[in-house]
Amino acid sequence: MSDERAEYLASAAGLGPSDRERLDQIREILGQNTTWSEPPPEVADRLLAAIGARKTPSIRAKPEPAPRWVWPAAALVATAAVVLVMGWLGVFSAPDEQVVAIAGTELEPGATGQAAIRETESGWWIRLDVNDLPAAEDGTYYEGWVWSDDGEGVSIGTFHFRGGEQSVILWAGVDPEDYPAIWVTLEDEDGDATASDRVVMRGRPESQ
Amino acid sequence: MLDRFRDGDESAVKAVYERFRGPVFAISMSVLHDHGLAADATQQTFIKAWQAATTYDPERELAPWIYAIARRTAIDIYRKQSRSVASDDVDSTTLPPSLDTIWEVFEVRSALDRLPDEERLVIKLSHFDGLTHVEIAAHMGIPVGTVKSRSHRAHRRLLELLRHVEET
Write out pLDDT tens, residues A135-180.
Answer: 898 889 999 999 877 777 899 999 998 887 788 999 999 988 888 8
Residues 6 or more apart whose Cβ sits within 8 Å of residue B21:
A38, A39, A43, A44, B42
- How confident is the model over A189-194, as a mean pLDDT? 82
Each residue's pLDDT tens digit, B123-139:
999 999 999 999 999 99
Q: Does residue A40 register a pLDDT over 80?
A: yes
Do B81 and B28 share a structural domain?
A: yes
Name the nearest CA neighbour of A20 among A11, A32, A28: A11
Kindly indicate the confidence band of residue A131, based on its pLDDT and cuts at 50, 70 and 90. confident
Q: Which residue has the higher pLDDT, A106 or A31?
A: A31
Give the CATH number of the domain where residue B142 resides. 1.10.10.10
CA separation for the pair B34, B21 (Å, rounded): 16
Do B52 and B5 share a structural domain?
A: yes
Contacts of A15 in chain B (CB under 8 A): 152, 155-156, 159
Residues 6 or more apart whose Cβ sits within 8 Å of residue B149:
none
Q: Are A146 and A157 in contact (CB under 8 A)?
A: no
Q: Are A89 and A168 in contact (CB under 8 A)?
A: no
Q: In this structure, is residue B78 part of a structural domain?
A: yes
Do B118 and B87 share a structural domain?
A: no
Q: In this structure, is residue B41 part of a structural domain?
A: yes
Q: Does residue A48 register a pLDDT over 50?
A: yes
Domain boundary pick from B92, B127, B150: B92
Kindly indicate the confidence band of residue A61, based on its pLDDT and cuts at 50, 70 and 90. very low
Please state the pTM of the whole predicted model: 0.58
Q: Does A49 touch chain B (CB under 8 A)?
A: no
Look at B39 and A43 and tell me if their CB atoms are within 8 Å: yes
Each residue's pLDDT tens digit, A18-28:
888 888 889 99
Please tell me the least confidently modeled range out of A50-54, B56-60, B78-82: A50-54
Cα separations in angstroms, B129 against A27, A32, A36, A76, A125 = 12, 10, 11, 76, 63
Q: In this structure, is residue B108 part of a structural domain?
A: no
Look at B68 and A5 and tell me if their CB atoms are within 8 Å: no
Specify the pLDDT at position A60: 41
Domain boundary pick from B62, B92, B122: B92
A94-203, CATH topology level? Immunoglobulin-like (2.60.40)
What is the residue range of B72's domain? 1-92
Specify the pLDDT at position A54: 65
Please tell me the least confidently modeled range out of A44-58, B26-40, B100-114: A44-58
Contacts of A53 in chain B (CB under 8 A): none
Which of A32, A55, A110 is closest, CB to CB, to B8?
A55
Q: Does A43 touch chain B (CB under 8 A)?
A: yes
Please tell me the least confidently modeled range out of A56-65, A147-156, B33-42: A56-65
User: Interface pTM (ipTM) of the complex?
Assistant: 0.87
Name the nearest CA neighbour of A28 among B104, B157, B57: B104
List the 69-128 stretch of A: residues with Cβ below 8 A of B. 104, 106-110, 112
Q: Does residue A65 register a pLDDT over 60?
A: no
Specify the pLDDT at position A9: 64
Residue among A11, A25, A35, A138 with most chain B CBs within 10 A, to mutate: A35
Q: Does A148 touch chain B (CB under 8 A)?
A: no
CA separation for the pair A175, B118 (Å, rounded): 65
Q: Where in the sequence of chain A do the CATH 2.60.40.200 domains occur?
A: 94-203
Look at B104 and A26 and tell me if their CB atoms are within 8 Å: yes
